[in-house]
Structure 1
Amino acid sequence: MLTLGNGRLWRALPILCAGLLLLASGPAPAAVTQAVPARHRAAPSAADLAIQLEALLGQHSVLAADLMRSRIRGDDDFVQAANAALGKNTSAMTTLVGQLFGQAAADKFGPMWSEHIVGLFTYAGAIAAQDKAALEEARKELVEYEEDLGDFFAGASQGRLSRAAARAAVVQHVGHLTGQADAYAAKNYALADDLYRMGYQHTYDLGLTLAKSLLPAKDVATLGQPLWRLRSQLGKLLAEHAALVEDLTRAAVTGSPDFDSSGQMINGNTADLAAAMDTLFGPAAAKQFQSLWADHVEQLVAYSSATAAADKAKQDQARTEMAGIEQRMGTFLAGATSKHISAADLTAAVQKHDMMLMKHADAYAAKDYATAHDVAYDTYQDMFGLATQLADAFGVTVAARLPRGGAQTGYGGMAAVVESR
């Protein structure tokens, strides 16, 4: 088992949030969880849609990797649920491509992207069957899909993204997914999980590259503004956190041999959060929040393990511990914001996140994989709303401290290729 309480990198996420709120340049919103009625919401801007594209592409990478791993394990029920989640993601992405780039682009994109997923599914099946001939055929088909997708993106960019660069990006995406599947089948979980994270980060960053190459110039300019970049980066890190916590709790539920490597993925994500915190705020907030966050993560894992063991007493104990942590977290954050956001509202935001993660663990332990995937899907998407609220709370002054360039800002992938054109 991992020793979570002593792992400094497990503790960075709420520390980051606390630091962001503490250093806000303007008034915070009335409530983190306050919903705006749909009739009063403004239509999303192209910049907002660009973040959605990043989010959906990153989610695709996670879902595709999970699908391939479940095929390799021979877990057919999980495969079906994972495939349904991928279908939902693909539908949302195709709709978004239409909103961003026109219906003609969406009509071409949807079938190509679906074929790409079928190729990944087939590849994982060939690994599971140890069928070398089928594996080579799957590789050949994936190369064709890579070329078609690359050519599609290059053509849609009207010369801003070269065919070679577009193909290279898709090749890298597929390489991360097939590589993690190969390593997972070989029980090299450390390598598999390194590639899992690389795949998420690269594919998320690809969303920015595509937006910058396909959107009109006036919209592209917005993507370089500090507040947009901070929304994008916070969303990237917080959503990855949600996905990786769910991966860890699944490993805790099943007692699978990749539990330790799943924990190291969380460590990597929190290291990135810690780097962002150091850049923006320094280490002071981290020292105040460190112990509380470690306890929070420990209790999520404890709850998942108790759920797997059907140990109600330990489940109740974990819930009780989490409730106390949520209250203390809300109080701490309220003080950090001079009560511009109430302790009750902040506590409710943390409770919502915990409840979704516990519901995911419950469903997974009961082998209700459809519900587990639905909850995981929603939890991932929910993190982008929180990221936007946090970014908006502390405003442009703090956001401007985020460095331009580099993977830490969401400017990885092929951004330099597009910017040089």
Structure 2
Amino acid sequence: MRVRGHLLPCLCAGLLALLPAGTSVRQQAAPAPPHQHVTAATAAAAPADLAIRFEALLGQHSVLAADLMRSRIRGDDDFVQAANAALGKNTADMTDLIGQLFGAPTAQQFAPKWSEHIVALFAYAGALANQDEQARKEANEELTEYESELGSFFAGASHGRLATKDAQAAVVQHVRHLTDQADAYAKGDYATADDLYRMGYQHTYDLGLTLANALLPPKQSAVLREPIWRLRSQLGKLLAEHAVLVEDVTRAAVTGTPDFKASGDMINANTRDLTGAMDTLFGAQAAKQFQALWGDHVENLVAYSSAIAARDQARQQQANDALRGFEDKMAAFLAGATGARMSAPTLAAALLGHDEMLLRHADAYGTRDYTQAHNVAYETYENMFEMARQLADAFGATVAARLPQGGAQTGYGGMAAVVGSR
């Protein structure tokens, strides 16, 4: 299945506009991140908030890059264009954040390096789509070079707090998750591809903490070990992944692609991880109650997407009505878990907003408005971290302290044991 060549000039042009004069683009077929606006360091946001943002953007990069590669393998040109735009926005946001954290000169070094590794990933997927082994090897060689460059960049920015070999190893693992999932997807091994999709998200998200811990000065990074921050980080990771995976299964349901079952398995695995988190925080009985409610929530979101595919408005409305019942029940559960520090009406409104965004995404996807679908998905992903902040603050430090301890590479423990046991 080949991607038609008329896409390539417009995809390449945006990247060329991004790179500074004299930078060579070593792959001609390239995604098109928009022009970057790099800001100077600012005290407007606390280091802890910026570190969460760093984790979120890195995790989001992983799933957007995987989606871009998969759409190119499928030969889905319209989706490629929309996924490319979302990935460009993520790159712009990440470059801006690097500027806030470490200053404009560092961000100006980061932007072309990061964009060039996206170029090589895009070329790698194109080679798989075209069944061109020589092009795949060439793209892989480019990725190896960029891995070294990015690792050296992060090590240099840490002022000796992060060893070059460790930084390079982390980048290598990130890239391997993406290329290996693309290999499996191209072969039709969707279960393996989706396992790697999740591993890639989780690794890259946690890489954000590893980097923030090394790149921030010690006085600023100390807050990253506080229980409330760790809970915010880990809840954000799982809730944002929930949104990503619901959107993935929506795509598979609406388009009827053969990876629907594997997509469903992914979202079920995320539900198990969230349930494990509730077990850690509140015990087995609360976890069992949560799993029943959350499972119904996921089933109704999938039912809504399936009804769109079948053009069955009655089933759509039935799923929508069922979601209203979920929101009230889950709000009551969480209000009890927070000791009423968040009221049931406030929680119900937050859950309603979450569900409405996911339904808007499904509606846009159903009409093949992929640009709107990606815009809504981006908004939904970011919203999950505000929800995680509110929940972590409401659960409180005593509950947050129940998280297992660990190193920065596993989110200081966080839900690593839960995720690892699925």
Does TM-score exceed 0.5, indicating one fold?
yes
- The Cα of 1:252 is off from its aligned counterpart by 1.3
Query: Contact conserved, 1:236 with 1:410, CA < 8 A, in 2?
Result: no
- The Cα of 1:401 is off from its aligned counterpart by 1.2
Query: Contact conserved, 2:275 with 2:290, CA < 8 A, in 1?
Result: no
1:388 maps to what in 2?
A: 389
- The Cα of 1:288 is off from its aligned counterpart by 3.2
1:36 maps to what in 2?
A: none
The answer to whether structure 1 residue 143 and structure 2 residue 144 are counterparts is yes
- The Cα of 1:119 is off from its aligned counterpart by 0.6
- The Cα of 1:335 is off from its aligned counterpart by 4.8
Give the distance between the partners of 2:219 and 2:278, measured in 1 at CA.
31
Decide whether aligned partners of structure 1 residues 206 and 367 sit closer, same or farther in structure 2, where only a CA change above 3 A counts.
same
Q: What TM-score does the superposition give when structure 2 sets the normalisation length?
A: 0.85
1:306-350 deviation line (CA, Å, top 9, x unaligned):
111211111112112222222333344445555443332222111
* Matched positions, count: 373
2:247 maps to what in 1?
A: 246
1:283 maps to what in 2?
A: 284
Query: Contact conserved, 1:233 with 1:409, CA < 8 A, in 2?
Result: no
Give the distance between the partners of 2:199 and 2:115, measured in 1 at CA.
22
2:173 maps to what in 1?
A: 172
Aligned residue identity for 2:405: R
Superposition pairs for residues 143-292 of structure 1, below 5 Å? 143-292=144-293
Give the distance between the partners of 1:95 and 1:350, measured in 2 at CA.
30
1:175-217 deviation line (CA, Å, top 9, x unaligned):
0000000000000011100110110011111111111111111
Aligned residue identity for 2:195: D
2:99 maps to what in 1?
A: 98
1:112 maps to what in 2?
A: 113
Give the distance between the partners of 1:355 and 1:148, measured in 2 at CA.
42
Decide whether aligned partners of structure 1 residues 320 and 279 sit closer, same or farther in structure 2, where only a CA change above 3 A counts.
closer
2:134 maps to what in 1?
A: 133
Query: Contact conserved, 2:71 with 2:79, CA < 8 A, in 1?
Result: yes
Query: Contact conserved, 1:307 with 1:365, CA < 8 A, in 2?
Result: yes
Give the distance between the partners of 1:285 and 1:254, measured in 2 at CA.
36
Q: What TM-score does the superposition give when structure 1 sets the normalisation length?
A: 0.85
Structure 2: 5+ residue stretches without partners:
1-42, 415-422
* Identity score, percent: 71
Decide whether aligned partners of structure 1 residues 357 and 187 sit closer, same or farther in structure 2, where only a CA change above 3 A counts.
same
1:19 maps to what in 2?
A: none
- The Cα of 1:226 is off from its aligned counterpart by 1.1
1:372 maps to what in 2?
A: 373
2:47 maps to what in 1?
A: 46
Query: Contact conserved, 1:61 with 1:203, CA < 8 A, in 2?
Result: yes
- The Cα of 1:408 is off from its aligned counterpart by 10
2:298 maps to what in 1?
A: 297
* Structure with the larger RCO, 1 or 2 (CA within 8 Å, 6+ apart): 1
- The Cα of 1:360 is off from its aligned counterpart by 0.6
Give the distance between the partners of 1:335 and 1:52, measured in 2 at CA.
29
Give the distance between the partners of 2:261 and 2:410, measured in 1 at CA.
28
Which secondary structure state, in structure 1, belongs to the residue aligned with residue 251 of structure 2? Answer: helix
1:361-405 deviation line (CA, Å, top 9, x unaligned):
111111100000011111111000010111111221111111111
Decide whether aligned partners of structure 1 residues 339 and 408 sit closer, same or farther in structure 2, where only a CA change above 3 A counts.
farther
